Structure 1
Amino acid sequence: MAGLGFDERPISGMIIRPPGWYLALYGSSFIACVLIGLIAVFALRSTTGFVFGGMFLLFAAVFLAISVASVTRRLELRDDRLYEVLVTGTNMVAVGEIGSMRLSLAGNGLSRCGFFRRDGSAAFGPARGTWPTADLLRLAKVINVPVQSI
């Protein structure tokens, strides 16, 4: 296979997920809000109990949505394509179209990340969510794109 350059071989798979403590934090918040809400409704049996119980059950619904989103959200590299998997759907861009990756540190070893095409347009739209910085740097090395820090 003489003549094959580095860019011509297929890129192996890689999956980047949010940190596990996201699910632990929001999942436990969901459970705590459900328990407090149910206790307030059934133990107090008053208007105040129903109001506070309803408020905590509403918080529980919000935490459930965040927990589900943190479980499904991921970046997948497979078949020379980068996929952004979200609750709302999957976005895809060919690795060859990616011109750069821009990172903005968010603390705790996490960064917001934006992928930009060679023409400067955003590959996945505005940067959403945070990802482990070390995994993003490893991804940039695998797909051979420059990393810019903003």
Structure 2
Amino acid sequence: MTKVHVTTTVNGEEVEFLADPRETLLDCLRDKLDMTGAKEGCGTGDCGACSVTVDGTLVCSCLVLGVEAQGKKVETVEGIADGEELHPLQRKFIEHAALQCGICTPGFLVAAKNLLEKNPDPTETEIRYWLAGNLCRCTGYDKIIRAVQDAAAEMRGAA
């Protein structure tokens, strides 16, 4: 099968790779760009472990073809921290023990960041709704919700 040349921006950096037309964005990120933060939990878009944003829209990268990233801006969990400085969401996930095995954590962080970019002061209901596409089998959701609430407050300067 003929490979397709893809040029895209990932976490603010222009990258190029060759992709099989049937290859998922998740596989391209992990296997071609060595960005292993997004995880394949289900491969069917049900768990959210592979969540990334494409042009600001939250997507399951297991359901997007790598060739669809052509000319787009992709943001992954690797792009959340500012250099060595953790993002408030990352710090709050640690403080609230909102992670355990780590499979779901990258997807939750990407989804929560996307929410807070669109709505910096979400209600608990809005957070739960926004994160409903992410599944966790280890921690339960209360710690995750509290971490997002605290991060939102800190980012607004209300903490």
TM-score, length of structure 1 as denominator length:
0.25
Which structure has more strand as a fraction of its residues? 1
* TM-score, scaled to structure 2: 0.24
Q: Which has the higher helix share?
A: 1
Which protein shows a greater Rg? 1
